[in-house]
């Protein structure tokens, strides 16, 4: 199983993102992987329902110093610890959601059941349950027949 940090690095290396967009792409990558792998999570870190949508707190903290600026691509040569099926799911999420801005992705997540049911203003640590993500996206994500 990948870590959310590894998935985040892969996304950052794949396309320009700020922290807002990165958080939403992590959420959608988790959703795609859950659906394709019968509820098995892509990464173990919880996703929380914050004011601006789903957030993986340790990844948010790692990149928050960049504010609304594009996160620079890491210059390390260390290979990412991602399995082929993990990369396929992330790439599918990026292909489908990656053209959207962070604000558009935030707006989209605010319309979806997992965030709406999990978000409580002023409450810390509003975890979005994996089961809720899976149950919502198993019926809303559509994949090509060859996937």
Distance separating alpha carbons of residues 5 and 11, to the nearest angstrom:
10
Q: Is residue 145 part of a domain?
A: no
* Residue 94 structural domain: 4-140
Which residue bears the tokens 């999570």? 41
The whole-model pTM stands at 0.93
For the chain, helix (H) and strand (E) counts, in that order, are 7, 2
Report whether pLDDT(147) > 70: no
Q: Is 108 exposed, middle or buried (0-12, 13-18, 19+ CB in 10 A)?
A: middle
Q: What is the pLDDT of residues 17-61, one digit of tens each?
A: 999 999 999 999 999 999 999 999 999 999 999 999 999 999 999
Residue 24: is it exposed, middle or buried by C-beta count within 10 angstroms (0-12/13-18/19+)? buried
Answer yes or no: is 41 within a domain.
yes
The answer as to whether 147 is a domain residue is no
Number of folded domains that form the chain: 1
């Amino acid at each position: 199983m990948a870590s959310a940090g590894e998935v985040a690095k892969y996304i950052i290396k794949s396309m320009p993102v700020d922290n807002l967009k990165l958080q939403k792409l992590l959420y959608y990558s988790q959703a795609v992987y859950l659906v394709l792998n019968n509820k098995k999570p892509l990464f173990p870190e919880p996703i929380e329902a914050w004011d601006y949508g789903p957030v993986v707190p340790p990844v948010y903290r790692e990149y928050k110093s960049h504010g609304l600026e594009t996160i620079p691509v890491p210059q390390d040569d260390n290979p990412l610890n991602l399995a082929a099926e993990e990369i396929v799911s992330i790439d599918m999420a990026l292909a489908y959601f990656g053209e959207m801005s962070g604000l558009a992705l935030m707006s989209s997540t605010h319309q979806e059941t997992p965030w709406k049911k999990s978000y409580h203003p002023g409450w810390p640590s509003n975890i979005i349950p994996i089961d809720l993500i899976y149950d919502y996206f198993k019926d809303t994500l559509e994949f090509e027949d060859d996937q």
